[in-house]
Structure 1
Amino acid sequence: MTQRAHSPDKQPQLLHLVFGGELKTLDSHEFHDLSTLDIVGIFPDYQSAYVAWKGAAQRSVDNAMMRYFIVHLHRLLEPKGLAGLHSALPTS
């Protein structure tokens, strides 16, 4: 099995999901119809996710019930953060 270490000159991959949909009410995060959610995409860093989020949000500005979100997938995949990832790697 090949081990991959993070090189100091390369930033770790921090995945972000951008998605949105029409909310049931303005004061909740519950969607009106899950089958119509708009999955904008998965992005390798927050900056590119933010650009995608802003574009999607601006395209739907006429619909007050439409909301887009950025989900930090890397926090779900590695809840202990990068420190947890490094401590879990076997040492040689």
Structure 2
Amino acid sequence: MAAKNGAPEANDGGKQLLHLVFGGTLTKLDKVHFDDLSQLDIVGIYPNYAAAYDAWKDAAQRSVDDAHMRYFIVHLHRLLDPEAA
């Protein structure tokens, strides 16, 4: 069972599949190249995709008026354990 924030509860034994949510202003709409890396918005690291998706959606909706602002979800668990399926 998961807590309200999407984190596994202590007695759940659930595996953390860490996800990073971040965004920034792109130089061009057709490429993932950020205008200023020092201005990236690091939204947070989340224990599962569902929690990360909720954070991504919230951040993306707040920046809907800026066409060059994009948010991304990075599957950190795949980087930390590339052998896992």
Fold shared by both chains (TM-score > 0.5): yes
For 1:24 and 1:81, how far apart are their aligned partners in 2? 34
Gaps of 5+ in 1: 1-8, 83-92
Gaps of 5+ in 2: 1-11
Aligned-pair Cα RMSD in Å: 1.1
Which structure has the larger Rg over C-alpha atoms? 1
Q: Which runs of 4+ in 1 moved over 3 A?
A: none
For these two proteins, the number of residue pairs brought into alignment is 74
TM-score relative to the length of structure 2: 0.84
Identity %: 69
For 2:19 and 2:46, how far apart are their aligned partners in 1? 5
Query: Which structure shows the bigger proportion of residues in helix conformation?
Result: 1
Matches within 5 A, 1:32-47: 32-47=35-50
Of residues 48, 51, 57, the one that matches 1:48 is 51
TM-score relative to the length of structure 1: 0.78
Aligned to 1:73: 76
